[in-house]
Amino acid sequence: YGEENITLHSKYLESTLKFYQAEFGVVDFPDRAEEARSQINSWVEEQTEGKIPNLLAQGMIDQFTKLVLVNAIYFKGRWAKSFDKEDTEERLFFISKDDSKTVNMMSLKGTFNVAYVEELETQILEIPYAENKLSMFILLPDSINDNSTGLEKLEKSLTFDKLLKWTSAESLSSSTVNVYLPSVA
């Protein structure tokens, strides 16, 4: 989405249409920033079948905005081991050291691949999707040491190579664990 007064190279516009099936949206940021934000959010919500209704929060777009690049994908996979809806219960979800929220948590006891990264004091859990072609890896720090989310230390040291190493077959071992995740239903 771009300001109506900017000109983009025609090859760029052709490429976005060819590779991403995305047309360039023309909006009036200087005079209708909130309307533009709403239009972009509607597009994202439609592309994600309602799963992401408000990608851009109020105030993220203003009269000085010139270009907003958004992409949305919607992935709906089935777990290899399904979470039973009857095992969903309200539990605390910690947002920071001093802030938590009661949310519906799915739970499942099962055998999963796990690892522990000593240097980051972080647990890794692999949850495979059906047919075992894809997996979700969850990285969970042991504790939140300050008033942040607890993820900052992990984010600062995370690289693609390290993630590959930590989630490799050599680093993972099978263990029976209780898994609690915020409900996605």
Q: Is the pLDDT of residue 9 over 80?
A: yes
- Using a pLDDT cut of 70, give the percent of the chain over it: 96
- For position 95, what pLDDT does the model report? 78
Q: Is the pTM for the entire model greater than 0.85?
A: no
For the residues 55-72, what does the mean pLDDT come to? 92
Task: Round to whole Å and give the CA distance between 172 and 97.
Answer: 28
Provide the pLDDT confidence category of residue 168 given band limits of 50, 70 and 90: very high
* Mean pLDDT value of segment 52-67: 93
Tell me the mean pLDDT in the region 149-156: 76
Instruction: Find the mean pLDDT for residues 76-83.
Output: 89
Q: What is the pLDDT of residue 123?
A: 96
Domains of the chain: 1-76 (3.30.497.10), 85-182 (2.30.39.10)
d(CA 126, CA 139): 9
Q: 149 pLDDT exceeds 70?
A: no
107-143 confidence digits (pLDDT tens): 999 999 999 999 888 999 999 999 888 999 999 988 8
Task: Answer with the residue of higher pLDDT: 167 or 94.
Answer: 167
Phi and psi (nearest 5°) for 19? -90, -25
Position 150 confidence tier, pLDDT thresholds 50, 70, 90 = low
The distance of Cα 164 from the centroid of its chain, to the nearest Å, equals 19
Q: Is the pLDDT of residue 90 over 90?
A: yes
pLDDT at residue 131 in the model = 86
Residues 6+ apart with CB under 8 A from 68: 1, 2, 36, 40, 56, 61
